[in-house]
Structure 1
Amino acid sequence: MVRLLMHAKATYFDTRVGRIAVHDTLVDRPPLLMLHGLGSDGLVFQRQFASPLADHFRLIAFDLPGHGQSDDCEDVDQAYTLPALAELTAAVLEASGIKRVAVFGWSIGGHIAIELMSRHPEMLSGVMISGAAPIGRGPVAALKGFQAHWDMLLASKAVYTSKDAERFARLCFKDGATPDDVAAVLRADGAMRTRVNRSLMRGEGANQKTVVQTSPIPLAVVNGSDEPVVRLRYLAGLQYRNLWEGMCHILPDAGHAPFRNRPYAFNTLLHRFAAEVAIHERATPPVELHRRA
């Protein structure tokens, strides 16, 4: 049985990396794309699709390759790197008839969104990230942005046991992890975890720290107070060019997935951000933005 997001229709696009499952409310409203993290799928955003956000925006989420209902990819270098995932995202938006969009990216989805800021700024009206540290290149930069503990090693482990999947789900969702979350982790292609983490740590694609320091695209940074993956002090210390409301937002009693742990508070912030960038889009014609190398 195929599970569906509330208000959304499931469609499938054939891409150069395989079939991609897209969940789309298909309404004539400002588009808002949500990008999930490793070991999850578009269904993780059920509490956003089932909220009043669906009354004001066209909500879209797709299953990354190797996740959910999307295909696994044998050529990992063609599908499972940050540049490849950013290009895939742009292709999904184009196939969906969307020219400009606000994006919320969670965890690796946040890193994909930052890569999009570099590669396709003309497609973005604004970006919100959670559980993602915009780091520079190299292992020292990664140590500055990410916390170090044993469960973090699961993010790049190729083969999971059932206990591994349960631990990873708890890392992501705290005590709110469900059997469906564990099943999604077990379904995910382990080659994706290994390759995309290598892509991030090697600095393939854009220097993400430089992107947030120089991009004019509005960027919102929202995290839980109990974030177990990203160093919140690192995020607060970065120099952003266009940080929304001039601050990194922290939701109390939330962890790596604040949109799940504190959905009402998170959805309120996401609604305000997406509405503001949509109003700005209507009031000010978008300027021509040049892609960064």
Structure 2
Amino acid sequence: MTAPRCTHTVTGWQDVPLYVPEYGNPDGIPVVLIHGWSQSHQSWTRQLSGPLAEHCRLIVPDLRGHGLSGKPDATEAYDNSAPWAGDLHAIIETLALKRPLLIGWSMGGWVVQDYLRVQGDKAISGFSLIGSSGSTGRYSPVEALERRENDSAVRATDMYGEELGANLVATVAFLKACFATPPDPDDLAIMTGFNMLCPPHVRLASRKRHEDYGPDLAKTSVPALVQWGVHERLAVSPMPEKTVEILPNGRAIKYAHSGHAPFWEETEAFNADLLAFAQSCYAKDRT
């Protein structure tokens, strides 16, 4: 994995320490890449070098409860918008990010929407939701919930448990469900390793949320993308389609050969799309 150009420790909501590595061009377009549930900043390995990194200042935090960031015990540290929005706000303010883009994968898309709910979009230039949606839990479309509930790997019940063997088996199955084409064994081993840094209580509190972000998305004025793979098993149709419909300035990009992680499975196309989006948002801001 590419080594970070520098790392920061940011004091997040209610003094939780956040590990925030930085990559890319320090004078480039500021882009915050926000990983998904039970993951870490290492999810973005394939974005941290090449043209995207040459043109962008990439801020790649470990979310609270994940990776090398602090892991409070309280359910209230994860089950509502305030902690996640407060952490993102702290990162933007501490690192003096001028109108960054917020790019959220899976649960990271919820974190972006938590920020929009609490802070609005005045301080950002655009955002993308990757394999994510504008609703969670009981607010999700019924047909999508049924598909997820019938997929045991996506349901991932044993990832909430303390029994290590069952937890590991469920974690590996969940990771495989994120891809249309399974990652090679070495990559899967690394992914499993950083997923296991997220404790069961964090996994449970952060995933079992019931949120309707529709009213928050409808208020946005900045450009937005909704990106997903055709072979998606987590943010299944019609979740992403309905999210695009809500956004006043939203646009969809679908990836024909990807599942839940197009940034990994179709890296070249994804990175080109993200760079073009960042440059268009930056040009719009300058105008």
What's the TM-score bracket when you normalise by the shorter of the two chains? 0.7 to 0.9
Counterpart code for 2:21: H
Residue in structure 2 matched with residue 131 of structure 1 by the alignment: 131
Partner Cα separation in structure 2 for residue 46 and residue 229 of structure 1: 21
The answer to whether the 8 Å contact 1:226/1:254 transfers is yes
Within 5 Å, give how 1:93-104 maps onto structure 2. Answer: 93-104=92-103
The Cα offsets for residues 192-248 of structure 1, whole Å up to 9 and x where unpaired, read as 22112233x2x2xxx31222233212110111111111123343245234344xx42
Residue in structure 1 matched with residue 190 of structure 2 by the alignment: 180
The answer to whether the 8 Å contact 2:85/2:114 transfers is yes
CA displacement at 1:92 relative to structure 2: 1.5
Aligned match of 1:255 in 250, 259, 272? 259
The answer to whether the 8 Å contact 1:20/1:64 transfers is yes
Please say which of residues 113-122 and 103-112 is displaced more in the overlay.
113-122
Partner Cα separation in structure 1 for residue 107 and residue 158 of structure 2: 12
The answer to whether the 8 Å contact 2:66/2:197 transfers is yes
Partner Cα separation in structure 2 for residue 242 and residue 195 of structure 1: 31
Partner Cα separation in structure 1 for residue 15 and residue 232 of structure 2: 32
1:163 and 2:169 equivalent? Answer: yes
- Percent pairwise identity: 20
The Cα offsets for residues 118-167 of structure 1, whole Å up to 9 and x where unpaired, read as 2222222101111111127x625353555422222217842252211211
Residue in structure 2 matched with residue 38 of structure 1 by the alignment: 37
Partner SS for 1:128? strand
Counterpart code for 1:208: Y
Counterpart code for 1:12: T
Within 5 Å, give how 1:1-293 maps onto structure 2. Answer: 5-15=2-12, 16-25=14-23, 27-120=26-119, 121-135=121-135, 139=138, 141=140, 143-146=142-145, 147-148=147-148, 149-154=151-156, 157-159=159-161, 161-174=167-180, 175-176=182-183, 178-199=188-209, 201=210, 203=211, 207-238=212-243, 239-244=245-250, 247-283=251-287
Partner SS for 2:102? strand
The answer to whether the 8 Å contact 1:225/1:255 transfers is yes
Describe the shift of the 1:20–1:155 C-alpha distance in structure 2 as closer, same or farther (beyond 3 A).
farther
Describe the shift of the 1:140–1:23 C-alpha distance in structure 2 as closer, same or farther (beyond 3 A).
closer
The answer to whether the 8 Å contact 1:125/1:217 transfers is yes
Which ranges in structure 1 are unaligned for 5 or more consecutive residues? Answer: 284-293
Which ranges in structure 2 are unaligned for 5 or more consecutive residues? Answer: none
C-alpha root-mean-square deviation of aligned residues, in Å?
2.2
Residue in structure 2 matched with residue 290 of structure 1 by the alignment: none
Counterpart code for 1:180: I
Residue in structure 2 matched with residue 288 of structure 1 by the alignment: none
Partner Cα separation in structure 1 for residue 10 and residue 110 of structure 2: 23
Partner Cα separation in structure 2 for residue 140 and residue 96 of structure 1: 34
Normalised to the residue count of structure 2, the TM-score between the two structures is 0.86
CA displacement at 1:79 relative to structure 2: 4.3
Normalised to the residue count of structure 1, the TM-score between the two structures is 0.85
The answer to whether the 8 Å contact 2:37/2:207 transfers is no
